[in-house]
Amino acid sequence: MTTATRGPIDPAAHLARLRERAPLIHNITNLVAMNPMANVLLALGASPAMVHAREEAAEFAALADALTVNIGTLSPLWVEAMQEAAEAARLTGRPWVLDPVAVGATAYRRETGRRLLERRPTVIRGNASEILALEQQGSGGRGVDSSDPTEAAEQAAVALARRIDAVVAVTGEVDLVTDGRRLARIPGGHALMPRVTTLGCALTGVVAAFLVGAKDPFAASVAALACYGEAGRRAGEVANGPGSFAVAFLDALYALDHDQLATLPTLEVTDAP
Amino acid sequence: MTTATRGPIDPAAHLARLRERAPLIHNITNLVAMNPMANVLLALGASPAMVHAREEAAEFAALADALTVNIGTLSPLWVEAMQEAAEAARLTGRPWVLDPVAVGATAYRRETGRRLLERRPTVIRGNASEILALEQQGSGGRGVDSSDPTEAAEQAAVALARRIDAVVAVTGEVDLVTDGRRLARIPGGHALMPRVTTLGCALTGVVAAFLVGAKDPFAASVAALACYGEAGRRAGEVANGPGSFAVAFLDALYALDHDQLATLPTLEVTDAP
Amino acid sequence: MTTATRGPIDPAAHLARLRERAPLIHNITNLVAMNPMANVLLALGASPAMVHAREEAAEFAALADALTVNIGTLSPLWVEAMQEAAEAARLTGRPWVLDPVAVGATAYRRETGRRLLERRPTVIRGNASEILALEQQGSGGRGVDSSDPTEAAEQAAVALARRIDAVVAVTGEVDLVTDGRRLARIPGGHALMPRVTTLGCALTGVVAAFLVGAKDPFAASVAALACYGEAGRRAGEVANGPGSFAVAFLDALYALDHDQLATLPTLEVTDAP
């Protein structure tokens, strides 16, 4: 576990590190998210790769700089590959991020989520319904969209972070990150973001990219969400709807620079409740 | 079977119901369509979910408000999941829509299409070549794009609707909907629509979303096609090509409102020939 | 083998043939590329189809005008389908194009690449790292993005073309095409192209579309790359980032015409070293 510094977090410094390293991010993600996730990572300056066959997933995980596992569209062979890749990441000291899409919806998802938690993700990023479901609280939602506000998952997020010694990021209208000891709320984003599919899934890749070379996964996750939210805010200024928002969002991620990030309000870290 | 009213159909009322309910639409669709379909449904105001593992497809179908099954990119386990999800939808009284992509092209597709028809879809939406192939008429086309005009499939559509007691929607330059007793033609759309991949597949999801809570599947299907065509017409006014059309189309679906739909010509329903 | 004419190549004539025929292109491609590849082919004037089940892949390959095989996201059943489709294309005299994505990254990819080479692709299109890996030279790269400049792969490309009697196209900042006897360099493109995912994969489909009805696969490949690069150059003139680039690129492919191509510098063919 890292030192839990409580100083303000500077997203620009984290983004500069990401662009300097152009990390290779291995993603086992859902079939809807594959393309947007790759484009988001490329726009930001990372190098995405999607590799899911059991014949190579673990080998590739040990080659990449970080791994993401997203359970949005499951099937048995993929679930095995997810386990093996997560294990390879863990054994070789690489960060990995779990995205528990709709984890409460079916027995298969609950079981898959439970097994993946055992592989000790560095970060879990989900919406409020998903984080509540992982802690077996709340309705867990029906589909892939959250039926709970972020605040409703605050306690569950802190409990989950403590239970598995991970960072938990809950995204929604307001974003919240905790490592069980610290907590940060990140403003930004735009009302059109939930109207574009898999922007949450793509954010999971962005968190992984920010983790590479970071000393503090909590700070890196906060920085990732701050950059993403700021790009969303900027895209919202020029969008006419979800189609033009998706286009403007990629342009905004690409254009994100130190000056833009310097205008953000300082991200304050508090003690977790 | 519903009462076969022949009065004019008001797309705006159907769209208002969809947005009020934000129905959860379960899609087992092809790998090319997954992302655009999700974006189309989100832009319109529905909540899409893609779930295809046999381990959970039937369970999820009984949880969602409607199901779509699209045979564009087949594989054996998916075909089993399609069967099981369609059966679950049928048994729990949920509407489901079949999209028989390129059903005439190979023996595997013909067989899969035949088996899915046995599960009694509420609506079948295809292009003219696909509807002709389902009725074992015409060439059936070679690929996924129609090689027949809509009118050529009118008789086959009426026969198919009567044979399996379903609504059949044939889309192309002109759209046609029949339940075997009634028939409507829907103008609108734009010449760039066939130049953007899977807009037809995404429409299948839109039809499913309009079916939720509808008393008359025929009227709901007509309303879905009218809204889709109007969004296409509006997108065509600002597009420079298929790339900008796809973007403008999502914006237009999102912006579609009562005033825009009120300007549409009344959709007249006639007796099926 | 075709007559190795060394005269200048006219991309406009090749594009006109493609649009006249609207060839049906069968693609077994990766899950990230499926959608952009279909949109690129539709924008250009071809008809794409994605078919990967063993139950129908060979049957469909013999029905289509050309085949592409892309190893970006592998799994065992897909690898079998790739083999069978490639064999069907070869036996029925259809051109097929191999896209060896990240072929050097894992043992599974190296083995799959080796087996597919045995099926004698008409054209191989890859980045420099991939072509070097196929000839067992260089690092082979870690991920899907090239870690070598195009020039570094020139010798390997010529050797590979001679070894398997195919056309080899190496794409990157400068594109290079060789059939082992002739060599052409194609300028154009834009710095944003590698920031949009799977534009290289989509180009593989474009090469296949240009091969249909072409007497000289080398000239057809050069023409394909020239058209693609010109559309990229034009898109770059109006793009603000990778999001708007992707949109403008589809519009530019759609708008590509004789006049635009006539302004291109003549593509000179030299002897391969």
Asked if residue A125 belongs to a known ligand binding site, the reply is: yes
In C, minimum Cα distance to A250 occurs at C243
Nearest by CB: B73 against C50, C77, C250: C50
CB-based contact A56 C145, cutoff 8 Å: no
pLDDT at C268: 83
CB atoms within 10 A of CB B238: 14
In A, minimum Cα distance to C242 occurs at A251
| Mean of pLDDT values over B43-72 | 97
Q: Which residues pair with C182 in a beta bridge?
A: C271
Q: What is the pLDDT of residues C220-273, one digit of tens each?
A: 999 999 999 999 999 999 999 999 999 999 999 999 998 888 888 778 899 999
* DSSP 8-state assignment for residue A9: B
Q: What is the pLDDT of residues B71-91, one digit of tens each?
A: 999 999 999 999 999 999 999
Q: Chain A contacts of B39, Cβ < 8 Å?
A: 196-197, 242-243, 246
Q: What is the pLDDT of residues B194-250, one digit of tens each?
A: 999 999 999 999 999 999 999 999 999 999 999 999 999 999 999 999 999 999 999
**Over pLDDT 90: what percentage of chain C?**
85
What DSSP letter does each residue of B20-69 carry, written as one string? Answer: HH--EEEEE--TTTHHHHHHHHHHHT-EEEE---TTTHHHHHTTSSEEEE
Q: Parallel, antiparallel, or unpaired for β A182-186 and A269-271?
A: antiparallel
Instruction: Determine which of A19, A35, A54, A238 to mutate to test the interface with C (most C C-beta atoms within 10 Å).
Output: A35
Interface of C to B at Cβ within 8 Å reads: 24, 31, 34-35, 38-39, 42-43, 47-53, 55-56, 59-60, 63-64, 77, 246-255
**Which comes out higher in pLDDT, residue A3 or A35?**
A35
* DSSP 8-state assignment for residue C63: T
pLDDT at A107: 95
* DSSP 8-state assignment for residue C265: P
pLDDT at B148: 82
CB atoms within 10 A of CB C246: 27
* DSSP 8-state assignment for residue C9: B
> Mean of the per-residue pLDDT values for chain B?
94
pLDDT at C172: 93
Please give the span between the terminal C-alpha atoms of chain C, in angstroms, as a whole number.
19
pLDDT at B149: 84
* Strands, sheet with B96-99, edge to edge from the N-terminal-most edge strand: B47-50, B24-28, B66-70, B96-99, B123-126, B167-170, B175-178, B182-186, B269-271
Nearest by CB: A242 against B52, B59, B254: B254
| Mean of pLDDT values over C166-187 | 95
List subunits contacting chain A, requiring 3 or more Cβ pairs under 8 Å.
B, C
Q: What is the pLDDT of residues C112-165, one digit of tens each?
A: 999 999 999 999 999 999 999 999 866 556 677 777 888 889 999 999 999 999
Q: What is the pLDDT of residues A158-191, one digit of tens each?
A: 999 999 999 999 999 899 999 999 999 998 899 9
In A, minimum Cα distance to C36 occurs at A35
- ipTM beyond cut 0.90: yes
On the CB side of A266, CA atoms within 13 Å amount to 6
pLDDT at C185: 94
CA C252 to chain centroid: 18
* DSSP 8-state assignment for residue C149: -
| Mean of pLDDT values over B139-148 | 70
pLDDT at A47: 97
Interface of B to A at Cβ within 8 Å reads: 24, 31, 34-35, 38-39, 42-43, 47-53, 55-56, 59-60, 63-64, 77, 246-255
Domain C11-261 homologous superfamily, CATH:
Ribokinase (3.40.1190.20)
Rounded-to-integer distance, Cα A31 and Cα A198, Å:
10
**At a CB cut-off of 8 Å and minimum separation 6, what does A174 contact?**
A150, A151, A185, A186, A187
Fold of A11-254: UDP-N-acetylmuramoyl-L-alanine:D-glutamate ligase (3.40.1190)
**Which comes out higher in pLDDT, residue B173 or C124?**
C124
pLDDT at C71: 98
Residue B202: closest CA among B45, B22, B34, B12: B34
Task: Please check whether residue C253 is in contact with residue B240, taking contact to mean a CB–CB distance below 8 angstroms.
Answer: no
Length of chain A: 273
* Strands, sheet with C175-178, edge to edge from the N-terminal-most edge strand: C47-50, C24-28, C66-70, C96-99, C123-126, C167-170, C175-178, C182-186, C269-271
pLDDT at B1: 41
Asked if residue C193 belongs to a known ligand binding site, the reply is: no
Fold of B11-262: UDP-N-acetylmuramoyl-L-alanine:D-glutamate ligase (3.40.1190)
In B, minimum Cα distance to C26 occurs at B143
- The two tokens of residue A101 are 């899409």
Instruction: Determine which of A101, A197, A199, A238 to mutate to test the interface with B (most B C-beta atoms within 10 Å).
Output: A197
pLDDT at B5: 67
Of the listed ranges A77-81, B268-272, C98-102, the one predicted with least confidence: B268-272
pLDDT at C140: 58
> Mean of the per-residue pLDDT values for chain C?
94
Rounded-to-integer distance, Cα C238 and Cα C244, Å:
8
Instruction: Check pLDDT > 80 for residue B7.
Output: no
pTM above 0.80, yes or no: yes
**Over pLDDT 90: what percentage of chain A?**
85
Q: What is the pLDDT of residues A43-61, one digit of tens each?
A: 999 999 999 999 999 999 9
Q: Chain B contacts of A35, Cβ < 8 Å?
A: 35
On the CB side of C23, CA atoms within 13 Å amount to 26
Amino acid at C253: L
pLDDT at B229: 96
Q: What is the pLDDT of residues C221-231, one digit of tens each?
A: 999 999 999 99
Domains of chain A: which residue ranges? Answer: 11-254
pLDDT at C168: 98
pLDDT at A136: 81
Q: What is the pLDDT of residues C185-220, one digit of tens each?
A: 998 899 999 999 999 999 999 999 999 999 999 999
- Give the phi and the psi of residue B59 in degrees, each rounded to 5: -60, -45
Q: Which residues pair with A186 in a beta bridge?
A: A175
pLDDT at A264: 84
Q: Which residue has the tokens 């009020």?
A: B20
